[in-house]
Structures are given as C-alpha cells and as structure tokens.
C-alpha cells in the first residue's frame, strides 16, 4: 500500500446533521418530503445527484432554473453551518491514523464528492496533512463513478492496486471498487463490497490493512 485515500464527510468529520438541516429547509420550502430514509439514500452523492434523488422520492420535477436555485440555497445554508466546525470535530482515530501512515511512508489523499471539501479541511486545520486533495470541483462524474479516486491516484503517481480507500457510504465503496482499489468501510452501516469493515479509525495498523486482499 502506497496511498491511502480518505473520503471526507463521515470519515474525517461528520457533517450529517448540517447536511440534513440544510436539505430539510430546502425541501420544506418546496413543499416536498424529506426524512431519515431519504437522507440515507443521498449520503456520499454529489449535490446535484442528491437533489435528483430526492425529487425521484417525491415523484416531482423542478424547472432547470429552480433546480439550480435550490442547489445554491442548500449550499449556502450548509456553508453557513460549516463555519462552526473546528479541530474538535475531527472524528476519533483520524489524527492518530494520519500520523501513523505518515511515519510508515504512506502517501495521503482526500477523494471527496463535496465541493466544500477544501473549506472544511481549512476549518479542521488539516489541509497540509494531505499530499493531494481531489473534490467535487475537480471531477465531472460523482460517486459511484471512480473518477475522484482515479484522479487522486494519478495526482500522486500511484497505481490503483497500491491504493486503499476509507469510505462510509455505499456510493463511495462502489466508486473505490470500480476504480480497482481496496476499500475500508467506516461506520455502523452495512457496506456491500468493502474489503474490511471498521466502526471508526481507531487502532488501525498496516498489519490490519494488509489483510485487505483484493476480492475481484
């Protein structure tokens, strides 16, 4: 393993509640339903893909200009909430794992669908911890398309079979597998296709990651 690629939301930091609150406001204003089940279905998706998914749930459509307006409102609400983030919001085990992998000579990257990823990393004071940061602003296809992870590997000159991805969403796990990479599923959700499942990033060592054999 030469490169560890981290998803951001749900792996490095949890902003689920901030996303939920923003989407809830947007959907309420449009007189459309939004609940926990819908929220689960859009985890890991881009903003555009999330709204398309929510509209399908509601069997509704929006004119293009209204669709774009809703995306902008959601993003502004979310960014306003992000201003409250700080180093104390980094999830358990993250800093220790970053330090450990650095010491072992493993390169580090962020591969996130979020267009706010760099802002979030700045808030967490983690920007300098990563050798490459690839976000939703750098890709044309969102997860489960593998583009974000492929670009992370290419940026650092590492072959896909030498990468391991840390993901908390099914779309992200699928993207990693589609890229030909091994993937550690993080959190309590059942993630189909993950080569290893952990509840959080505490107590992870290379010996454990070495057990992630490619199951293609």
How many Å separate Cα 91 from the centre of its chain? 14
Query: Of the residues 9, 145, 168, 174, which is catalytic?
Result: 9
Residue 64 is a catalytic residue = no
DSSP type of residue 156: T
Neighbour order of strands in the sheet with 196-198: 132-134, 107-111, 3-6, 163-167, 182-186, 196-198
Task: Report the largest interatomic distance among the alpha carbons of the chain, rounded to a whole angstrom.
Answer: 52
Residue 7 is a catalytic residue = yes
Query: Of the residues 7, 145, 168, 174, which is catalytic?
Result: 7
Do the Cβ atoms of 174 and 144 come closer than 8 Å?
yes
* Beta-strand runs (E) in the chain: 3-6, 107-111, 132-134, 163-167, 182-186, 196-198
The structure tokens listed for 51 are 């709204």
Dihedral angle sign, alpha carbons of residues 42, 47, 49, 51: positive
SS3 93: coil
Tell which phi-psi region holds residue 22, choosing left (phi > 0), alpha (psi between -120 and 50) or beta: alpha
Say how far apart CA 47 and CA 20 lie, in whole Å.
12
30-to-14, 26, 137 alpha-carbon distances in Å: 26, 6, 27
The catalytic residues are 7, 9
């Amino acid at each position: 393993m030469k490169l560890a690629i981290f998803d951001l939301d749900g792996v490095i930091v949890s902003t689920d509640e901030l996303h939920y609150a923003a989407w809830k406001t947007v959907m309420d204003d449009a007189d459309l339903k939004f609940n926990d089940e819908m929220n689960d279905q859009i985890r890991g998706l881009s903003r555009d893909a999330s709204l398309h998914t929510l509209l399908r749930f509601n069997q509704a459509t929006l004119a293009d200009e209204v669709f774009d307006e809703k995306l902008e409102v959601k993003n502004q609400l979310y960014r306003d909430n992000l201003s409250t983030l700080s180093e104390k919001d980094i999830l358990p085990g993250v800093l220790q794992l970053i330090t450990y992998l650095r010491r072992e000579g493993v390169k580090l990257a962020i591969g996130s669908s979020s267009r706010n990823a760099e802002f979030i990393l700045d808030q967490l004071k983690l920007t300098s911890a990563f050798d490459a940061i690839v976000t939703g602003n750098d890709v044309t296809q969102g997860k489960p398309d593998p583009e974000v992870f492929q670009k992370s590997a290419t940026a650092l000159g590492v072959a896909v079979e030498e990468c391991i991805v840390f993901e908390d969403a099914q779309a992200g796990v699928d993207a990693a597998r589609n890229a030909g990479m091994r993937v550690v599923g993080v959190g309590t959700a059942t993630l189909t296709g993950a080569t290893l499942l952990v509840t959080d990033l505490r107590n992870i060592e290379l010996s454990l990651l070495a057990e992630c054999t490619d199951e293609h």
